[in-house]
Amino acid sequence: MNCVMGHSMGGGAAFLAAQFDPSIKTIATLAAAETNPSAIQAAASLSIPSLIIAGGNDCVTPPPANQVPMYDSLQSSCKTYVSINGGSHCQMADNNFLCSIGEATCTPQPTITRAEQHVVISNYLIPWLKYELKSDCASGAQFDSLITTDTSIVFQKHACFAILLHLLRATQLSMLEYFQILSKTICLFRMTKMKRVRS
């Protein structure tokens, strides 16, 4: 399994890369920007697992015009949108003078620090990647548990069962891909069963 990732225009370019390269199996973006050609239109052709992270106070690539339409356009039944409350565009990455100048000219300004924003990103990106790329059930459970209780974010999430079942029926899978998908299906079944027992 592999993943294409990017921040800002790199996030928009990640959608374009995934559209034109069928070997890309997952996508994760940070404050993705609309591009020319359109990342939003590219997203409409993708049905791979996707994690879209946005800053709630991003005034450079405002989520309603960038990340939200990308998320909505995705055809994947295994997609998650995470908006970091008070998070900004430039704080998705290390300090960059030019990005900071651009962000200083618009509102709203961030209400959390860069370090706080990086903690939130790591809390979601790392377990999501471990689950998607390594079929690590514990990381998938950690991601699902945190996302429902964390007050530092708002989110939208679609369950992954449909895409996994579709992929299991495909005939062009290598044995490794087949077993990775089967492992994820078992993980999802166990996590769903645990949630029912707790309720």
Which amino acid type is present at position 151? T
Which amino acid type is present at position 188? L
Taking the C-alpha atoms of 100, 93, 125 and 119 in order, what is their torsion angle to the nearest 10 degrees? -80
What pLDDT is attached to residue 169? 53
Distance between CA 175 and CA 108 in Å, rounded?
A: 49
pTM surpassing 0.85?
no
Using the predicted structure, report yes or no on whether residue 48 has a pLDDT greater than 60: yes
Q: pLDDT tens-digit profile of 162-196?
A: 445 445 555 566 666 666 666 666 676 665 554 44
Distance between CA 23 and CA 180 in Å, rounded?
A: 15
Specify the higher pLDDT residue, 163 or 62.
62
Q: What structural domains and CATH numbers belong to the chain?
A: 3-160 (3.40.50.1820)
**Residue 192 parent element (H or E):** helix 175-198
101 CB-contact burial (10 Å; exposed 0-12 / middle 13-18 / buried 19+) = exposed
Q: pLDDT tens-digit profile of 74-129?
A: 999 889 999 999 999 999 999 999 998 989 999 999 999 999 999 999 999 999 99
What pLDDT is attached to residue 126? 97
**Confidence band (pLDDT; 50, 70, 90) for 73?**
very high
What pLDDT is attached to residue 171? 52
